Each structure stands twice: as C-alpha cells, then as structure tokens.
Amino acid sequence: MNTDAYLARIGYAGPRTPNDYTLAALQRAHLLAVPFENLDIGRGRPLALDADGLFAKIVTRRRGGFCYELNGLFARLLRALGYDVVLLAAGVARGDGSFGPEFDHMTLLVRPPQGQAGPWLVDVGFGDSFAQPLRLEANAVQTQDGRAYRLEEAAGRWTLFERQAGSAPWEPQYTFTLQPHNFSDYDGMCHYHQTSPDSHFTQGRVCSLATPAGRVTLSGMRLIRTEHGQRSEHTLPSESAVTDALHRHFGITLDD
C-alpha cells in the first residue's frame, strides 16, 4: 500500500506514531475527506472486496464507498502504521427493535501498541456516527460532538447505543462480537447489499460526508446540509444538478 498517498487523500499530515491520539486524528480526517456512498450500486457497477481495487477507487479516483470498502481499506492503512486491527461483523439495528444478520456491517477493533490506551471501536463506514474511536468499555458513557455513546456487553455480545442530545432516548446502532474475521468473510453480504431489492443500498442514491460544521448529504434528488445544528434541504432540479452537487460538495466526478 502507498501509505503516503492514502494519508494525502484524507488530508492527514500529522504524526504517524501508532497511539490513541494518532488513531483519533486519522478517523476524524477520514470521515471529513471520504464520503459514505452507494453510487456505483445504483449505476449497476459491481463492487468487489479487492484491496488493490479499493485503493484505486477510494484513493486514486477519490471516491467513497460503504462499510466493507471504507473500513476494509482503513484497516489496511492502520496495520501499515503499526496498529493491531481486527475485522468485526455486526448486525445493524432495525426499526422494529431487531438486528440485521451477521456481516450486515463491518466495524473495527483496534489495539495500539503495548502500553497505549485501548482497545478501541473504530468505524469510518457507518455514515453519520461517532467521529472519534470509542473505548471498548461496557456501560461507560462517552460523549463527543454533542452526542453520547454507550457500549453494553452480555454473554460476549456487544451493542452500541447512541443518544443524540440531552434527554433523548438511547438508540441501538449495531451489535457485534469480538470474533475476528477475514476480509473475504464479508463477500456474501457485500453481494446481497448491492443486489437484493430488500437492501436499503439498492433503494436509493446516497452520498454523505462529515464537514467541520456538520454534514452534507445527497439522498436521491435531495441535498441536505446541517451546519451548527441548523438543517436545510432542497430538491435538485435535474441529474445534471446532481452531477454538479457531487463534484462541488463531495469532490466526486463519476466516470462513465
């Protein structure tokens, strides 16, 4: 892997010493530079979990991706920098209170070198979620960017909860175990999410990127911006306007 090119892609020029401070800076930089998006799925372009192909897409062509792509490639970067990284399989929370199947989502367990803090839950592929690593510690409330997060553990299964602000209820995000997995283990669910009509990734276009002041999201034809807690939304008039918005807000130019 060309580590220098990857770090340049995410705009990171800080220290590379593998510790908890560097890890937090890398996660935030990644989320501010690389969008969560499913644009190739809507265009009928198959996605494969091939490390060289993902590097070409995300780093060279400056695209984004979804969890398997983003966390899969980020894991390679962290390993190249000296971190111990474990690929974890998670089931994403559903509206009815249940969770999706194993491998519904890829998240990461990261252990800095011996003597450093950790381990940490790290995720650059879950869209609008925690921007800095979370300590893998049961029942500890961890706050960042006006939100609170909590991890619960029961019989070896962990569940991530998020609370938006104040007295808002705790909402489950995903559940996982600490069982290590290989990158190829996610092939089946990666194929499902880009082909099944039941997958939310096949049901509409999404491209979303964190910004220093909030977030910008393209959902279908809607452009949604949040800045300092204030939300605005408008419908784009045409596909050419979508193309312009992708370039202007996300740095994406789709090749045909």
CATH number for position 196: 3.30.2140.20
Strands 120-122 and 134-135, sheet pairing: antiparallel
Q: Which two tokens stand for residue 168?
A: 């808002």
Average pLDDT in the chain: 94
67 is catalytic: yes
**131 shares its domain with 219:** no
**233 shares its domain with 110:** no
In this prediction, residue 113 has a pLDDT band, given cuts at 50, 70 and 90, of confident
**102 shares its domain with 220:** no
**71 shares its domain with 160:** yes
Sheet holding 142-144, edge to edge: 134-135, 120-122, 105-111, 84-92, 171-177, 157-163, 147-154, 142-144
**222 shares its domain with 199:** no
20-33 and 67-80 are packed helices; what angle lies between their axes, rounded to 10 degrees? Answer: 140
In this prediction, residue 47 has a pLDDT band, given cuts at 50, 70 and 90, of confident
Q: What is the pLDDT of residue 139?
A: 94
Q: What is the pLDDT of residue 156?
A: 94
In this prediction, residue 88 has a pLDDT band, given cuts at 50, 70 and 90, of very high
**What's the CA gap between 255 and 85, in Å, rounded?**
33
DSSP track, 47-78? ----HHHHHIIIIIS---B-HHHHHHHHHHHH
**84 shares its domain with 165:** yes
The 3-state DSSP class for residue 39 equals: helix
Q: What is the pLDDT of residue 116?
A: 74
Sequence letter at residue 190:
C
Q: How many residues does the chain have?
A: 256
pLDDT digits (tens, 9 = 90+) for 125-183: 999 999 999 999 999 999 998 899 999 999 999 999 999 877 789 999 999 999 999 99
Using alpha carbons, list the distances in angstroms from residue 88 to 92, 112, 180: 13, 17, 6
CA 178 to chain CA centroid, Å, is 18
**196 shares its domain with 210:** no
Task: Please tell me which residue in 30, 104, 123, 207 is annotated as part of the active site.
Answer: 123
Task: Please tell me which residue in 30, 40, 104, 105 is annotated as part of the active site.
Answer: 105
207 is catalytic: no
pLDDT above 80: residue 190: yes
**186 shares its domain with 245:** no
Q: Decide which of 114 and 54 is more confident.
A: 54
**127 shares its domain with 158:** yes
Q: What is the pLDDT of residue 256?
A: 56
**104 shares its domain with 222:** no
Range of the domain at 214: 205-256
Domain count, the chain: 2
**What's the CA gap between 48 and 107, in Å, rounded?**
18
What share of the chain has pLDDT > 70, as a percent? 99
* Lookup result for tokens 């306007």: 241
Mean pLDDT to the nearest integer, 3-26: 96
**51 shares its domain with 120:** yes
Instruction: Flag the least confident range among 16-25, 192-201, 247-256.
Output: 247-256
**64 shares its domain with 160:** yes
Q: What is the pLDDT of residue 232?
A: 95
pLDDT digits (tens, 9 = 90+) for 204-222: 999 999 999 999 999 999 9
**What's the CA gap between 17 and 112, in Å, rounded?**
10
Output helix, strand, coil percentages for the chain, rounded to the nearest 5.
30, 30, 40
